[in-house]
Amino acid sequence: MKHKIFNIVLLCFAIPALVLADYTDHRNRKVDSLETVLSSGQALSDDDLVRIYKDLMWGYLQTDGKKSAHYASKARDLSRKHDYLNSEADALRIMGLVAYGGNDYEKALGYFNEALQVTERMCGSDRYEQSDIDDNLSTLYGSLGNLYNMQDKLHLAIHYYQLALPIFEKYGWYESLATLYHNVAELYYCMGNGKEAEKNYYLSLDAALRSKDSLLIALPNKGLGLMYSNGGEYDKAEEYLNTAYEYYSAHKDLENDAYIEVVNALGRRQLHKTHDVAAAEKYAAEVLSRITEDTGAETVAAVYNFCCEIEMDKKNWAKALEYAAKAVDADGEETYDDIGTYVWMTQIYTELGEKEKAKEQVVKIYNGMEQFATMHYQSGISEMEVAYETDKKQSAIDQLKRDRKLMLIVFVLVVIVLLTLVIVFVLLWRVMKQKRKHDVIQAQLSGEIDERIRISRDLHDRLGGLLTAIKLLQEKDSPASGLTDEAIKEMRNVAHHLLPNSLKRSGLRVALRDYCATFRNVSFSFSGEERHIKNEEIVYCIVYELVNNAVKSSGAQHIAVQLLAGDDYTAINVSDNGRGFVVDSNTEGTGLANIKERVVSIGGEMTISSAPGKGTEINIELKHKDND
């Protein structure tokens, strides 16, 4: 299931990555005359050829990606021959932009990272001005931010956008600042961080007003209007929506999706703030008439959800169900956005007397929340690993800048002491390699705990508030109210067991006992002395994942969890009577291997015993030092 955030409309990056800090107009270059020069047989120097290739790669970028990449490749090869680092980085970025435009994100990432490496070499050379280096870095950071954004790797996208921002501020590039602050705000909004989103929207608006660009001014006004409207703050939303409407209504054919979003929000204000259903229906008719095959799926879904709300307000349940179904089918696949629609469908089916179908929607709500939590947990771990490597590269760039003036002195000192330090360096390298591996695992473990806390809070605060609001609209003791109570209960169970408060209050025994009790076929037993232990949160997450894996994958009828607390050790046993497997390096699985690494990182040992048809038994032993 593709990840999308409920009730949030993310900026569609229709503008190519080069819009971020591309300060030269390349559209009017005379590509035909330049190709005539190349085919004339005229003797040209390599410097002339590099300039012509660069003009052609830019000239064809908007019209013929294949030719643009061809000339960029020639410019890159010739630049390498003469060590023209700036031209080489420029050519690599064009090749990345062409790959990005063709949705080949892996190839684009390779070119962008290669261009960054070339720019790092520029930092160590006196041939290039700092402004040239900053220009390269800002454009590449912007391109990488867009790339990760399109792959739904939101933390990484924000990371690269924020790397570009200080460069734009340094040179007063307000158009780029406005665009990037807006993009960062949209990403924070998608992640549920309204406070950071609001701050960056206002920063974007300030930069846009300085740039005096009407489109850039409209963007943060739209973002703030939609954010306040979706949060029910209709009075705050009105000013921003009206400002955005002035621009998009005058450019509705060029900015159709944005126009629909603004009109849709104005209509929802009429429905929920002024309770003017007739006015809301006029807005709904307008946005429905603007939907085309090119309209974004999330925009279409938002329109149908608005129409569904109108029909529900009129108690026209059959028509409301029709619009709800269209909202779910808007993009052809299930998304996290659909959970809100399933809530409406639960009430609609209840009002229509179709209780079984209403129950099906409750199950979809629960499954959607569980999948959202799992997906964000895995995504957070993956992005954290990439961010760790990214920070190392950025540290290398910063170090090169600081060391340029000292390079000659350092070189002389290194030559003098090189022979003496070789052995020391080798020993230190081995120690640092082991420490780096340990640091990565510790960062992953810390990130896992933080991610569970964030997801738990998001589920409780955002979706819990929505379900509670729906319950208040329903008649007491009605079937719909009962189903909503069930959805609230399931949501709280998921949020609670990600990292329960009882873990800090009462310790590992109570937390594991409560979690196991949520499964019909999982039993829990405890023996020994009850006490808090070191790394309790990590141990809970490990057992949580082992039990979850057994429930989902083992096919077991019974799963037993045993916790034994001794004076100087803690032992955990997770066993099942499922299908089992052959334990070896090939079949142990990436999941179990990752769990074993986490156990080792906190000073424990983990053994696996399993065979086909004989179930699986996993033992974990943690030894405690006297001062733990």
Q: What is the number of H-type helices and E-type strands within the chain?
A: 24, 5
Report pLDDT for 426: 60
Q: What is the dihedral of CA 594, 596, 597, 603, to 10 degrees?
A: 150
Beta bridge partners of 422: none
In Å, what is the CA distance from 380 to each residue of 73, 154, 572, 577, 596? 36, 9, 27, 32, 19
Express each pLDDT in 380-413 by its tens digit.
444 444 454 455 455 555 555 555 555 556 555 6
pLDDT category, 424, cuts 50, 70, 90?
low
Beta strands in 429-529, from DSSP E residues, in sequence order? 522-528
Q: Which neighbouring-strand residues pair with 623?
A: 569
Cβ(309)–Cβ(15) below 8 Å: no
Identify the H or E element spanning 197.
helix 194-211
How does residue 532 score in pLDDT terms, banded at 50, 70 and 90?
A: confident
Q: Which residue has the tokens 């334990």?
A: 583
- For the beta sheet containing 604-610, the strands, ordered from the edge strand earlier in sequence to the opposite edge, are 522-528, 559-565, 569-576, 616-623, 604-610
Residues present in the chain in total: 628
- Res 11: pLDDT: 32
Place of tokens 């930092």: 123
When mean pLDDT is compared across 2-11, 226-235, 597-606, the lowest value belongs to 2-11
Q: DSSP H helical segments within 60-173, as ranges? A: 65-82, 85-101, 105-123, 130-150, 154-171
Higher pLDDT, 8 or 562: 562
Give the pLDDT score at 87: 93
Q: What is the pLDDT of residues 95-110, one digit of tens each?
A: 999 999 898 999 999 9
Phi, psi of 501 (to 5 degrees): -65, -25
Per-residue pLDDT averaged across 562-568, rounded?
86
Say if residues 317 and 339 touch (Cβ distance below 8 Å). Answer: no
Which pLDDT does position 213 carry in this prediction? 92
Which H helix or E strand runs over 410?
helix 407-458
Q: Which of 98-102, 418-422, 576-580, 591-595 comes out lowest in average pLDDT?
A: 418-422
Distance in angstroms (rounded) separating the CA atoms of residues 371 and 335: 10
C-alpha 107/C-alpha 93 separation (Å) is: 11
Query: Is the confidence at residue 66, as pLDDT, over 50?
Result: yes
How far, rounded to the nearest angstrom, does the alpha carbon of residue 201 sit from its chain's CA centroid? 18
In this predicted structure, what is the pLDDT of residue 317? 92
Domain with residues 1-212, CATH architecture: Alpha Horseshoe (1.25)
Nearest to 563 by CA among 609, 499, 510: 510
pLDDT of residue 3: 33
Q: Which residues contact 93 (CB under 8 A, 6 or more apart)?
A: 18, 111, 112, 115, 136, 139, 140, 143
Residue 27 pLDDT: 41
Q: Which of the two residues, 228 and 498, has the higher pLDDT score? A: 228
Q: In this predicted model, which residue has the larger pLDDT, 478 or 594? A: 594
Lowest-confidence pick of 77-81, 517-521, 582-586, 594-598: 582-586
Does residue 163 surpass a pLDDT of 50?
yes
Classify 570 as helix, strand or coil.
Answer: strand
* Residue from 321, 367, 325, 328 nearest 347 by CA: 321
Report the pLDDT value the prediction gives residue 617, as an integer from 0 to 100.
92
Give CA 73 to chain center in angstroms: 32
**Residue 589 φ/ψ region, left for φ over 0, alpha for ψ in the -120 to 50 degree band, beta for the rest:** left
Q: Please say if the pLDDT value at position 264 is more than 50.
A: yes
With cut-offs at 50, 70 and 90, classify the pLDDT of residue 360. confident
Q: How many CB atoms lie within 10 A of CB 439?
A: 12
Q: How many angstroms separate the CA atoms of 426 and 276, rounded? A: 76
Task: Give the model's pLDDT for residue 17.
Answer: 33
Domain ranges of the chain: 1-212, 373-475, 507-623
Could you tell me which residues come within 8 angstroms of residue 351 by beta carbon, excluding any fewer than 6 positions away? 315, 317, 480
User: Letter for the amino acid at 484?
Assistant: T
Residue 477 has pLDDT above 80, yes or no: no
Partners of 560 in the beta sheet?
Answer: 523, 575
What is the pLDDT averaged over residues 562-566?
88
Return d(Cα 494, Cα 187) in angstroms, integer.
Answer: 25
Residues 6+ apart with CB under 8 A from 73: 91, 95
Tokens of 380: 């957070």
Percent of the chain topping pLDDT 70: 71
Among 32-41, 193-202, 435-444, 535-544, the range of highest mean pLDDT? 193-202
pLDDT of residue 319: 92
Question: How far is residue 467's CA from residue 490's CA, in Å, rounded to a whole number?
Answer: 11
Return the higher-pLDDT residue of 240 and 515: 240
Which residue has better confidence, 415 or 50?
50
Alpha helices in 251-354 (DSSP H): 256-269, 277-290, 297-313, 317-328, 338-351
* Class of the CATH domain delimited by 507-623: alpha beta
Lowest mean pLDDT among 113-117, 228-232, 393-397: 393-397
pLDDT at residue 219, rounded to an integer:
94
Mean pLDDT of 609-623: 90
pLDDT-wise least confident of 106-110, 361-365, 433-437:
433-437
- The overall average pLDDT reported for the chain is 79
* Structure tokens given for 408: 């000659």
Helix (H) or strand (E) segment spanning residue 617: strand 616-623
Q: List the single range of 268-272, 358-362, 441-445, 590-594 with lowest mean pLDDT.
A: 441-445
Question: In the predicted model, what is the mean pLDDT of residues 156-166?
Answer: 88
Element (H, E) at 559: strand 559-565
In this prediction, residue 258 has a pLDDT band, given cuts at 50, 70 and 90, of: very high
Q: Which residue has the tokens 């890159």?
A: 76
pLDDT by residue (tens digit) across 2-34?
A: 333 322 233 333 333 333 333 333 444 467 888
